[in-house]
Chain A
Amino acid sequence: MIVLNEVRRATYLDSIVLMRLSRQVAALPGVVEAGLFIGTPANKEILRAAGILGREGEGADAGDLILALKAGDAAAAASALAQARRLIDRPEMAGAPAPPGALRTIRAAVEAMPDANLALISVPGHFAADEARKAMALGLHVMIFSDNVPLADEAALKCAGLAQNLMVMGPDCGTAIIAGVPLAFANVVPRGDIGIIGASGTGIQEVSCLIARAGRGISHAIGTGGRDLNPEIGAIATLMAIDALDADASTQHIVLISKPPADAIVRLVLERVGRSAKSFTVCFLGAADVAAPANARIAHTLKAAAASALGEPPPGPLPRAQGRQRRGWVRGLFGGGTFCAEAQLMFLDAGLAVASNVPVPGAVAVADGGHLMIDLGDDIYTRGRPHPMIDPAVRDAPLAEALADPAVAVVLIDVVLGLGAHPDPAGHLAGVLAGRKDCTRVVASVTGTDADPQRRADQVRKLAAAGVTVAESNADAAATAIAALAGSAERLASRP
């Protein structure tokens, strides 16, 4: 074994960057153990106890950064150290400033790119409305990725946008595909004739990927932000998006995705849908008894919405169990809030009580015991740390807890691929599950396409190799979990 240390004098890196670098260095080929610590006496004790403190590290001061690694041989150690240096030197990893020449203002960006007609705003929520106003003053549509923007600001921005005929997508708009260009968290899907309008980012991703995997394509996918159908906003962005897709010659069918809005908003939106010459699929997840106009079909799940857009019949009844039946509860650990909602609806449809930290109508707030669906993208899990779609380690501890709980029979998870997402979420999950028995009780869906940077087929293969049961969609994963429960056959038989 070879131990190598490198000391960076008076170097301060952000804690999250240090943590990520530490993991990346430890995962380099040939590295047995690695650590990245400031050189305090107490930290040297950790490195000494791990057998990776060398002479250089011993000489570090408390304000220095020590990179310490142990590798199987000298060549592997030298190669790993060289790669580790490159990782530490990558300015974007340290959250360092943009390189010289980068544009600092929206005005400068417009001067550099005068044909631009859309600005993507991703700044702390406190500043997002001001930046959006600057962009709109320059005649740009805006997509506001930022969250924590006050509702009153959203209403004011959207009213101003309506007056100027500028679309305000968001705030908290995480996904869009405009004229084939994916924005923020989106998947690489072919161009086609189906348009999507969604208040939910992961909802847009799931439907667009299911359509792409069926061989069709997307004209535009327009995110509206999760609150657009609130009465205070009045569906301004949704209605403008319908106008836009209605007038778009490349769009033949339009899919609408949202949580159930208030009755008045439902009427407002469906009245506009009814005036269109195009066909629609309306998926108000969890809404009951929506009276659709003649040119629209109602879908109750994201999978059903994709099937409807493809002109296929609605999905059939829940499948019967394929493997052995299990006694216990289902624990869902979701990065996508819409997936968490869809799974709850599937359980309620199957006559099963379900709880969640973000309950849909009919579900209950988190309680001890019972089927439990957790949205790990909820603010309480993501404040001060990355979203689970960026850093899948957010799920590690809840997953370990669920697998260690004898009352949990099945664990449901979502793996979301695409631009902006983690480069290898399945690989990370497989690492977490390595050495554990009975991983078939982990049921996963993989949202993505083979054109995504992570390549869906590779991700599915990694999960299957780890023993995970992989379903075709999130709805299928929930159905698989339900079917795996002891007594499901009787319960399904008793359902109307």
Chain B
Amino acid sequence: MSLGCEPCLAPGSVKREAPVIAILRAGALAGELVARGTTAHVAAVFARSLYLRAGETFLCVGEASIGDGPLTLIADGVIGDLGLRAHQGASISAHAIRIGNAVEFRLDRCKPWHSPGWPAAVPPARLIETSAALASRAAVAAPPEGLARFALSGAVAATPLARVAASPIARFHAWLDAALAQDCAPEVPLHGLIGLGPGLTPSGDDFLCGSLAMLDALAQRRLHAALAAAVAAAAPALTSPLSASLLRAAAAGHVGEHLHDAVAALLAGDVEAAIAAARQIGHSSGWDMLAGAATALRLISEPKIRRDS
């Protein structure tokens, strides 16, 4: 069974009783897509959001509580009780998104959303302390289903996921270490990490999103470009189309509100704020993103400390 697309409705053919919901904000990439106009279909429906697939891009239409994101449209209403189902056809234009006869999302009041700039980081010694404090918290507070507990605290690889993840994460560390020491970054070893783990977005993908965000936040342009290029090239073959869509956005320098807040909190040395922001993202995805961000933070900060001393 493939994701078939029902014939999309022409503008104006929505029945009168279909609810009309305003879209309040559109992330940068979501805004570009709706401005171009296209057809799509419903890929997934959750309690507070739905995903529309347009080619290889996934748009998330969600309630305000899910937070803003580059591919997210924030709706002024409740999504979960619209009676939508996977595979329904949708039409997307600069003015509205129509999903069959079920709902019309109006874009007239929509404002663009961009993640704010990165704040300045506290001194490297504080960043190292922050990473260590986060590792201690992860050892007991990170969900056992994800990667963060193992990746951050150095705990014994006690779960099947952690055992399989041990080698790819070690290779990622080695790459980042080597890339920091050299002028030109070596090839990024993503095999085994990308697409790894449970959940809608695999833990390995979340880890990479966090790393990309932290490299961007620390203005590590060369490393960010190398990792971004590798992720964008590898994602289509190695992870789900939905997760690949989000990874491409992260590789292009776009992150969601909660990940931005988590990384900004790490840069400020505020571990609890970082955890609180990460927990807004999902059961284990936020922690896995934190793991990627904190890994990059520690590996970049340690050589600075050594140089300074």
A11, A41, A380, A400: the one within 8 Å of B276 (CB): A380
In contact, B283 and A397 (Cβ under 8 angstroms): no
**Known contacts A14-B47, A100-B83; is-contact A42 B164 (Cβ 8 Å):** yes
In contact, B160 and A14 (Cβ under 8 angstroms): no
In contact, A97 and B43 (Cβ under 8 angstroms): no
- Cβ of A95 within 8 Å of any chain B Cβ, yes or no, is yes
Least CB distance from B75 to A in Å reads 11
- Cβ of B90 within 8 Å of any chain A Cβ, yes or no, is no
In contact, A15 and B285 (Cβ under 8 angstroms): yes
Name the CB-closest residue of A to B244. A62
Chain B residues lying within 8 Å of A123, measured Cβ to Cβ, are 78
Bound together, the chains give a CA A12 to CA B242 distance in angstroms of 9
In contact, A97 and B198 (Cβ under 8 angstroms): no
Chain B residues lying within 8 Å of A41, measured Cβ to Cβ, are 191, 195, 237-238
Q: Mark B269-309, 1 if CB is under 8 A from A, else 0.
A: 00010011001111111100000000000000000000000
Q: Residues of B within 8 Å of A, CB-based: how many?
A: 66
B65, B143, B279: the one within 8 Å of A126 (CB): B65
**Known contacts A63-B240, A97-B83, A384-B286; is-contact A9 B1 (Cβ 8 Å):** yes
Chain A residues lying within 8 Å of B63, measured Cβ to Cβ, are 124, 126-127
- Cβ of B200 within 8 Å of any chain A Cβ, yes or no, is yes
How extensive is the interface on chain A, given as a class? 35 or more
Interface 9-mer from A44-52, A77-85, A190-198, A342-350: A44-52
- Cβ of B84 within 8 Å of any chain A Cβ, yes or no, is yes
**Known contacts A12-B200, A62-B237; is-contact A40 B195 (Cβ 8 Å):** yes
**Known contacts A18-B198, A43-B202; is-contact A397 B141 (Cβ 8 Å):** yes
- Cβ of B152 within 8 Å of any chain A Cβ, yes or no, is no
In contact, B145 and A19 (Cβ under 8 angstroms): yes
Chain A residues lying within 8 Å of B78, measured Cβ to Cβ, are 123, 127
Tell me the chain B residues, 165-205 only, with Cβ under 8 Å from chain A. Answer: 168, 191-202, 204
- Cβ of B253 within 8 Å of any chain A Cβ, yes or no, is no
In contact, B80 and A95 (Cβ under 8 angstroms): yes
- Cβ of B82 within 8 Å of any chain A Cβ, yes or no, is yes
Least CB distance from A223 to B in Å reads 23
- Cβ of B37 within 8 Å of any chain A Cβ, yes or no, is no
**Known contacts A97-B83, A98-B83; is-contact A19 B240 (Cβ 8 Å):** no
- Cβ of A10 within 8 Å of any chain B Cβ, yes or no, is yes
**Known contacts A40-B196, A62-B240, A62-B241; is-contact A16 B283 (Cβ 8 Å):** yes
Tell me the chain A residues, 1-42 only, with Cβ under 8 Å from chain B. Answer: 9-16, 18-19, 22, 35-38, 40-42
Name the CB-closest residue of B to A62. B240
**Known contacts A98-B81, A127-B78, A384-B280; is-contact A15 B195 (Cβ 8 Å):** no
Least CB distance from B1 to A in Å reads 5
- Cβ of A383 within 8 Å of any chain B Cβ, yes or no, is yes
**Known contacts A14-B46, A14-B200, A123-B78; is-contact A46 B1 (Cβ 8 Å):** no
List 23 A-B residue pairs with CB atoms under 8 Å apart, sorted by A's residue number.
Answer: A10-B1, A12-B51, A15-B200, A18-B198, A18-B200, A19-B145, A36-B198, A37-B197, A38-B240, A38-B243, A40-B194, A42-B193, A42-B238, A45-B164, A45-B196, A50-B160, A95-B46, A96-B46, A96-B85, A97-B82, A97-B84, A384-B281, A384-B282
Add 19 more A-B contacts to A15-B283, A42-B168, A46-B160 (CB < 8 A): A10-B3, A12-B86, A12-B240, A14-B47, A18-B198, A19-B284, A22-B198, A38-B195, A42-B238, A45-B196, A49-B160, A49-B164, A50-B160, A62-B244, A63-B241, A97-B85, A380-B275, A397-B140, A397-B141
Closest 6 CB pairs of A and B: A40-B195, A42-B196, A12-B44, A15-B199, A95-B47, A124-B65
